[in-house]
Amino acid sequence: MTQTTQHTQTRPAGSAAGALAAADGERPVREHTLALTLSYNGAPFSGFARQPGQLTVQGDVEAALELLFRRPIETTCAGRTDAGVHALGQVVSFDVDDVDIAGRSLPSLRRSLNALTNDAITVREVEPKQKGFSARFDAQAREYHYHLCVDSTAPIFMKDFSWFVPGGLDVSAMEAGAQYLLGEHDFKSFCMAASAVGKPTNRNVREISFHPETVLGENILAIKVVGNAFLHSMVRTIVGTLVMVGKGQRPSSWVGEVLEARDRQAAGENAPAQGLVFWRVIY
Which parts are annotated binding residues for substrate? 144
C-alpha R_g of the chain: 22
82 is catalytic: yes
β-strands 163-164, 141-149: how paired?
Answer: parallel
In sequence order, the 6+-apart residues with CB closer than 8 A to the CB of 170 are 245, 246, 247, 248
Please give the DSSP secondary-structure letter assigned to residue 228.
Answer: S
Q: Looking at 24, 60, 82, 186, which residue is catalytic? A: 82
Q: Count of alpha carbons within 13 Å of 248, Cβ hemisphere only?
A: 4
Strand blocks (E) in 74-201: 76-77, 86-97, 121-129, 141-149, 163-164, 183-186
Rounded to an integer, what distance in angstroms lies between the CA atom of residue 279 and that of residue 125?
15
Here the contacts of 2-9 (C-beta below 8 Å, separation 24 or greater) are: 2/76, 3/74, 3/76, 3/93, 3/94, 3/95, 3/132, 3/134, 4/74, 4/95, 5/31, 5/95, 5/132, 6/31, 6/95, 6/97
Q: Cα separation of 95 and 32, whole Å?
A: 6
Task: Detail the residues annotated as belonging to a binding site.
Answer: 144
| Catalytic site positions | 82
